[in-house]
Structure 1
């Protein structure tokens, strides 16, 4: 978009890409706990969009939407990192689920069902499902997985950086993806469907719930449980 003088119309570009900010925010919020506000992500994303406009140069040879997406997502991730978006209690609950799942799996030699995991945790099935909803364990990787304490300020930044120039990073990513594919194949059938719809087809929890004929909260529970299974299997990769 250009003005009559042939200059980039940054104001028009801003308004045109407001929906991009909302789209990125909606996709990201589905992967975060309930205490993260959508409006806060959108507001921060708008700042990222404005930053992209001030830094973008046509001569860079990159489409503006691609450039802006990186800036918008980066701004949101910075805000999440600074805001300690996942509480310590939620992280502890997630770890407790993973450890219980691992113990039962080792004992039974198969993937445990929900009631077996609940029993291992010493709680009712209803309380266990409520815990799954609470933690919304949609992250395959947490900050503490890569650091001895609870802080790794560079971790989120690395997720928005261009690692394509690092052959070792590409190789590690390929190995991780291959291992992840195998781990997903070992999930219970319904959890496989959910992971496929969420990550491959970019569907949100509400859309998945409509396909499966269950509530959105139930999809959230199963999704959290699938992530716990995957994190248990992926340790060491």
Structure 2
């Protein structure tokens, strides 16, 4: 049921229709009512309660456009469909805020590209956890539809051969699409998982970390024989400085030489070892 209220403004009188349940208005009726509400938006002052009511009613009346556009992506799971509808609503709101009656075009024709564009942008920005070629992204969607169709028809999980026949693709291409689908979503490292030994744990506990010290193993193996070739005094200097971490002054006291002399000895030793390391690469 649609009623009409009259709002008095300083300059003019505006008739604002009242719709009891905007979200339940039939699409055909919504098209006609939308024209009336868009007309009101052109004369109402933005920020007033009347303007907000007209805008909100337009949004609710045209939610069917979002459901229609989201239906193109019905192969997605039910949880993801909720996100698709929410993103589509953003597109609808943008269309309402940018539509002008003077364009002389149906609002539905104007709004659907905005809604679909917002949904596609959502997929582009968030869907794939890793980069895969576009042909495999498209194959994944085709694979999901074929899998659901065959599962419903056969009452079981379809084989790769059955999928390839329905999709008109070679079996190896179907396998490639199945592997690429693994990159569609990623799991949080903080995701809780069940462990028989530790009870509930997080995924990060079961993923190895890179050990920076391993990078030095080869260097140590290459350096060891070169240090062995040094005379006893030079080996002691290397040991005191880099194992016991003595200062140059402390090493000088043990050798009975000045700190400056120790500095020159260490510089010479390091240059010799560095040259030997570079020659082994």
Q: TM-score range by the shorter chain?
A: 0.3 to 0.5
RCO higher in 1 or 2 (8 Å CA, sep ≥ 6)? 1
**TM-score scaled to structure 1, two decimals?**
0.39
**TM-score scaled to structure 2, two decimals?**
0.34
More strand by share: 2
Q: Is the radius of gyration larger for structure 1 or structure 2?
A: 2
